Chains A and B, each alone.
Chain A
Amino acid sequence: MATVAIAAERENYLNQEYGIRSWLLTTDHKRIALLYLASITFFFFVGGFFALLIRLELLTPAGHLVQADTYNKLFSMHGQVMIFFFLIPSIPAVLGNFLVPLMIGAKDLAFPRINLLSWYLYIIAGTIYVHCIVTGGVDTGWTFYTPFSTAFSNTRVIEAGISIFIAGFSSILTGLNFVVTVHRMRAPGMTWSRLPLFIWAMYATSIIQLLGTPVLAITLLLVVFERAFNLGIFDPTRGGDPLLFQHLFWFYSHPAVYIMILPAMAVESEVVACFTRKRIFGYNFVAMSSIAIAVFGFLVWAHHMFVAGISLYSALIFSILSYLVAVPSAIKVFNWTATMYKGSISFTTPMLYAFGFIGLFTMGGLTGLFLACLGIDVHVHDTYFVIAHFHYIMVGGAVMGYLGGLHFWWPKISGRMYPEGWGRLAALLVFAGFNLTFFPQFILGYMGMPRRYWQYPPEFQVLNVLSTAGSTILAVGYVLPMVYFLWSMRYGKIANDNPWGAAGLEWKTSSPPPTFNFKEAPEVTWEAYNYDEIPAPAEVPVER
């Protein structure tokens, strides 16, 4: 109990104030980050529950578990919950909220009350969505394609649309907060070129959130109006163009995938640097490539519409642009790899996730190039190839980045170490489970199994069974961290200020930090990733 007493001595943001009001009315970015952590974890399990049902249904070729209509709802809501209520907020709202002010030496974000508003908007949106789920759900696919969503679907489209509309504003306000914070609140000496690459990537993410999400908002609004007032803007029998909906929808939803992956790349830079004890190779290139991804990401959206009926000429343009957008991502991968060369590598849990990220993101990214090729896309569009591609990036990339980041900064957030042995086991289970789940889906898609189908030809069964088996292993890998993180908050080893010996301002304050982040305002006189000056930790924790 002495260890508990030591932790309780130092006043920090967790113990400074107690009581539910101090949490629900907080404006402390660190507490808001934890509020988000709890909320998005809830939605992760909701979305995961839908995934479980999907995989169970797909164990057998004929539909046995649920009706076809129900299956449509399952994959639609799995997608919407995972994207809008888990992935989009995940790293920005949890790790970004917690770390951005710390990393730049500020006391809080620029607009703390707007930060809290962001969370409340997210909660309101989430509540509406949960209500939507329990009152019938939505079956349009996560993409709300018209005219099915506007004229034919009998499900709760309007409610889902309004819910995601509100969630979009939560996202916009978070992005706005980050951009202003990074511009206006850097500590003295924290120049742009001394910023951690995490900040560069979060900044780029915020630009996308600011410029892209409003278009989704207006598009969903138009769908809601069309459905509610029987308008016809997207109805081909009344002169409307369904492709207009798709253009407007994908104008946001493609950059949205960069909202989901850039923060994971942000984490990757920090973790790789720390566990190779080296400055990231090609800092300027990695920083600029974050901005390039944000910009280029807006130029490629119609690659989701190659077979929908757009003109061949515009398809050619978007195909070329889609190839180009892969370049900055590739630059990052090369630079992380180059960082590892002759580095002093430790295989801690965050580093295991980082290794997984590089491999799986690369596979996901390369298969994206397959899809960018018009000729190939004609065959694999709307098949499991696409599903495998984006899950490699979203799960193999983004979720592993999120988990790696949670582990890396857990000592800072909670003041405790998680159990390292269990952490590594969970990381390996996630990696193995993930590959078993999704690699067969590349083959399935290539062989022609369509997505969003409740039944399939019997020759596809073996691969589907493998995929479902993998998903159960993946599920275990996800549940483990939940359990041991909670465990560690009471029983974990007390962490000191910098258990990893990492570079970055957040490691120069206590674990957990005080409410106003730093005892004295920092003044930065050193470059980023000054690992030549920072001693390695005496022992990297191997606690069982």
Chain B
Amino acid sequence: MSDSPITVEEHGPELRHHFVDAEQQRDAASLGMWLFLATEIMFFGGMFCAYLIYRYWYYNEFAAGSRSIDIYLGTINTAVLICSSLTVALGVRAAQMGKRKLLVTLLLITIVFGLAFLGIKGVEWYQKFEEHHVPGNSFNASDLERPPYSHGEIDQRHEQIYFSLYFAMTGLHALHMIIGIGIFVFLTYYAWKGRYSPKYYTPVEIGGLYWHFVDIVWIYLFPLLYLIDRKPLR
């Protein structure tokens, strides 16, 4: 007798027993995801701090490094992520309205956008690899152009710090992207199975929050890494 749940009520199988009602469960899940995103802000934030300090110290090298990464691919990738955020938002809406097929389609398109982003990023990284801009023993950035208004030559050691941060930040972001795609694969599967309805679409909503966050990180990475100094060299 003593181990029976406190209140017995009619509820769907998704309602976990320690919650009083579906609304409490939904509110808890939402708050949980937002708090998790707050921790992610601090997680990326540590690297933004390192970036800030070294950009302050080694502006020339950062500018030179920034020029050497492909602004067209970077812009396209930004656009890809924005499109994916659109499909995610539309997907949540589809779930809210109970449109299963539309939801599955949108989730799949989101995954495709995510994979496209990773593919383009892979191409960019490969370019850096070919140019010997990958930090480590074969690093060689003597091919970088020095802005005419800067004093002195590009310091290779400082340049390596730029590229270390470039790979660390875009790498961590890409890892989050991969995790996001994994989450969306699960969401797509369960959506296809009909698990989500206007009454219960919490996983889609909080999965969406995560995806938008990864998009926002990129929205900041793009200007910070790619647009430091694109003024034409006279």
Q: Taking beta carbons and an 8 Å cutoff, which residues of A are in contact with B?
A: 10-12, 16, 106-112, 172, 176, 179-181, 183-185, 210-215, 217-219, 221-222, 225-226, 229-233, 237-241, 244, 247-248, 251, 510, 514-516, 518-521
Whether the Cβ atoms of B135 and A214 lie closer than 8 Å is: no
Closest 4 CB pairs of A and B: A218-B46, A214-B43, A108-B18, A214-B42
Nearest residue (CB) in A for B158 is A239
Report Cα–Cα, A247/B36, bound state, in Å: 23
Whether the Cβ atoms of B168 and A222 lie closer than 8 Å is: yes
Whether the Cβ atoms of A184 and B6 lie closer than 8 Å is: no
Nearest residue (CB) in B for A179 is B35
- In the assembled complex, the CB of A511 is this many whole angstroms from the nearest CB of chain B, namely 13
B137 neighbours in A (Cβ, 8 Å): 230
- In the assembled complex, the CB of B18 is this many whole angstroms from the nearest CB of chain A, namely 4
B123 neighbours in A (Cβ, 8 Å): none
Whether the Cβ atoms of A516 and B6 lie closer than 8 Å is: yes
Report Cα–Cα, A390/B174, bound state, in Å: 40
Q: B1-39 toward A: CB 8 Å interface, digit per residue (1/0)?
A: 011111100000000111110001001100110011011
- In the assembled complex, the CB of B137 is this many whole angstroms from the nearest CB of chain A, namely 7
Question: B45 contacts the other chain (Cβ, under 8 Å)?
Answer: yes
Whether the Cβ atoms of A219 and B135 lie closer than 8 Å is: no
Q: A210-B38, A214-B42, A214-B43 are in contact. Are A183 and B31 (CB under 8 A)?
A: yes
Whether the Cβ atoms of B58 and A516 lie closer than 8 Å is: no
Q: A239-B155, A239-B158 are in contact. Are A230 and B136 (CB under 8 A)?
A: yes
Using a CB-CB cutoff of 8 Å, which residues 25-81 of chain B contact chain A? 27-28, 31-32, 35-36, 38-40, 42-47, 49-50, 53-54, 57-58
Question: B160 contacts the other chain (Cβ, under 8 Å)?
Answer: yes
Whether the Cβ atoms of A232 and B42 lie closer than 8 Å is: no
Report Cα–Cα, A510/B2, bound state, in Å: 10
Nearest residue (CB) in A for B160 is A232
Question: B230 contacts the other chain (Cβ, under 8 Å)?
Answer: no
Q: Which of B27, B31, B155, B164 has the most CB of A within 10 A?
A: B164
- Cβ 8 A contact of B2, one of A185, A215, A519: A519
Report Cα–Cα, A233/B57, bound state, in Å: 13
B53 neighbours in A (Cβ, 8 Å): 241, 244
Report Cα–Cα, A520/B36, bound state, in Å: 32
Selected A-B contacts with CB under 8 Å, 6 pairs: A215-B42, A219-B46, A230-B136, A231-B136, A239-B161, A244-B53
B44 neighbours in A (Cβ, 8 Å): 218
- Cβ 8 A contact of B3, one of A215, A241, A515: A515
Report Cα–Cα, A112/B46, bound state, in Å: 29
Interface size class of chain B, counting residues whose CB lies under 8 Å from the partner chain: 35 or more
A112 neighbours in B (Cβ, 8 Å): 16, 18
Whether the Cβ atoms of B2 and A248 lie closer than 8 Å is: no
- In the assembled complex, the CB of A518 is this many whole angstroms from the nearest CB of chain B, namely 6
Whether the Cβ atoms of B157 and A232 lie closer than 8 Å is: yes
Question: B178 contacts the other chain (Cβ, under 8 Å)?
Answer: no
Whether the Cβ atoms of B43 and A218 lie closer than 8 Å is: yes
- In the assembled complex, the CB of A389 is this many whole angstroms from the nearest CB of chain B, namely 27
Whether the Cβ atoms of A111 and B157 lie closer than 8 Å is: no
Whether the Cβ atoms of B58 and A239 lie closer than 8 Å is: yes
Q: A11-B3, A231-B160, A521-B6 are in contact. Are A111 and B32 (CB under 8 A)?
A: yes
Whether the Cβ atoms of B28 and A111 lie closer than 8 Å is: yes
Question: B165 contacts the other chain (Cβ, under 8 Å)?
Answer: yes
Using a CB-CB cutoff of 8 Å, which residues 106-141 of chain B contact chain A? 135-137
A233 neighbours in B (Cβ, 8 Å): 50, 54, 161, 164-165
B28 neighbours in A (Cβ, 8 Å): 110-111, 180-181, 184-185
B42 neighbours in A (Cβ, 8 Å): 211-212, 214-215
B46 neighbours in A (Cβ, 8 Å): 214-215, 217-219, 222, 248, 251
Report Cα–Cα, A244/B46, bound state, in Å: 10
A226 neighbours in B (Cβ, 8 Å): 164
Other A-B pairs beyond A109-B18, A185-B18, 12, CB < 8 Å: A10-B2, A107-B17, A176-B36, A179-B31, A180-B32, A213-B39, A214-B43, A215-B43, A218-B172, A222-B47, A225-B164, A226-B164
Whether the Cβ atoms of B136 and A229 lie closer than 8 Å is: yes
